[in-house]
Amino acid sequence: MPARRRTTGVTLLLFVVAALLAGCTVGPSQRPPVAVRGENMPPPPSAAPPAPAPPALPEPDPASSSLEFRDCPGGRGALAPPTLADRTLAVACTQLTVEADPAQPGLGRTRIGLVRVGLADAPPDRPPLLVIGDSNTRPSAPVALALAGKAPLALLQRYTLIGLDRRGSGVDELECGPVTARNAIINIDPAGFGTAVRLSALLEQARSVVQDCYLVHAGALSGFRTASTVADVEQARLGLGVDRLSAVGIGDGASALALWSRAHPDAVARLVLDGPPDPTLNEPDASEARAAAAETTFDAFAAACAAGPDCPLGADPRAVVSSFVGRLRAQPLASADGRRLTAGMTVTAILIGLGNPDGWPDLATALGAAQGGEPTAVINRVAPLLSDGGGLDVALATGCNDVQRRLTPDEVAELTERWRELYPLFGATTAQRLLLCAPWPTAAPAALSDPGTALPPTLLIGIAHDPRGPLEATRRLAGTTPQALFLSWQGSGTGAFPRTPCVTGAVTAMLVDGTMPVDGTLCPP
């Protein structure tokens, strides 16, 4: 992207020179006479001093790990390195013992998983690059593995990747919500009509989640929040044996790293925050930002589908999907095995799929098949949320623990009416989900430390169409982060690196060479 900016700058310079030359052509001038400086004229302004160059990025520290990595276990979620032509990867796993709730040390301890992914011939002291994923997607271990397979080889020649699982995922799976409550959550009526009755039933299901989860985890349920990940990152740094840690965070994993870097600025080496939502945004503002972002991301999905020669959703995917969801409200669609596709389930499946543009063609195919009477592919997309370890419990726990405000049924009903008009596909669903946190105890707010001048320059990446981390939220976070460098990508999905050459080049240059991109860089789709 810097090269693109230089090209733009040269073009602008040539335009200015051409304009000046045009003003010097032969012939009578229509310009006003040039004023001559007299004794009463103010002196010409002095040239502004050049902006100080940002400080150099710290060098990554070699690892001196006290953690014992071994072969990863098999079974569900087993990790196997992909076979690639340009690299041979080695994968190993370990577990980190941490406080169940760092804010309440007396509640016992738990374990979280770490995976090490690097070149098979990498030396053991190769600097670590911590990778933290979004709590609403996959555990960080497979995210790190996928990154190792797609990132430029130079990154793996510089670092060994360390995936740090979020609380409630991987070996620490949160499995406590009753199936009936999970069903109610994924089947929220996307129109929100009959709100009073529906909200009463939804509130009861939310209470059952809190009650069942507290029976399993007692007071330690408060530990499933982004602020706990801050303590986990610091424990991982100490275990990896580095004074300064480099890291990449995606989605609210990036928010966790933002909080960690503020609390431990002297422990930061090179930091990339990819699509972080603003961790200081409370409800209902945070949910409204996501609803708006989901609508624009769906528009990008629809445009990508309609631009192809054989879009399963026709020339106007939004109209087709909206009509289909409306029909499902009146009559759910049964699959051959007896399962039923509802309107709420369809909207949930779309929200899940929007974060991964690589899967958009499959999402469009599944929706097209359902519209034609075969709903199995759409149902399969949400089926994991109904099972233990499917991620719904931890997403709910983390989301509720991260925000302070609890909305009443009357407030949620009012927002449902309003957001249905503003955000036609996702507004009513998003508003009603606010009620899921109503019975949840309020956790202490995350401390927003002031790092002063100790924090090295941090790269924040905003994404134009990200249903999890709206662009403006990332921009606000960059505005409050000392020495932040902001890069925006006009693409879609959760996480931009390494999905586009412009972003990949900027991130790789920063992490590998310590070369920082120009603040405000704009990357094309």
pLDDT of amino acid 318: 97
pLDDT of amino acid 46: 47
Give the Cα separation of 163 and 129 in Å (integer): 8
Angle between helices 285-306 and 360-371 (to 10 degrees): 80
Give the Cα separation of 162 and 422 in Å (integer): 41
| Domain boundary assignment for the chain | 89-171+227-281+448-523, 179-221+283-437
pTM: 0.84
Q: Which token pair is 489?
A: 């990508």
Beta bridge partners of 130: 162, 247
Give the Cα separation of 385 and 392 in Å (integer): 5
pLDDT of amino acid 31: 35
Q: What is the CATH number of domain 89-171+227-281+448-523?
A: 3.40.50.1820
Q: Which token pair is 129?
A: 């690059």
Q: Which token pair is 63?
A: 């690892």
Measured CA to CA in angstroms, residue 334 lies from 261, 270, 372, 374, 484 at distances of 50, 51, 12, 8, 51
CA atoms within 13 A on the CB side of 480: 18
Give the Cα separation of 126 and 69 in Å (integer): 14
CA atoms within 13 A on the CB side of 107: 18
Neighbours of 452 (CB within 10 A): 9
DSSP track, 139-168: -HHHHHHHHHHHS-HHHHHH-EEEEEPPTT
Q: What is the dihedral of CA 457, 247, 297, 433, to 10 degrees?
A: -110
pLDDT of amino acid 278: 80
Angle at 371 between CA 367 and CA 375, to 5 degrees: 70
Report mean pLDDT in 10-residue bins for the chain, 525 residues.
39 35 36 35 47 76 92 66 87 91 83 92 95 75 88 96 87 82 91 77 90 80 86 95 96 90 95 88 90 94 94 96 95 93 96 92 96 95 82 85 88 93 95 92 73 90 88 89 92 91 96 94 92
**Which helix (H) or strand (E) is 40 found in, with range?**
none
Residue 437: DSSP 8-state: G
pLDDT of amino acid 36: 33
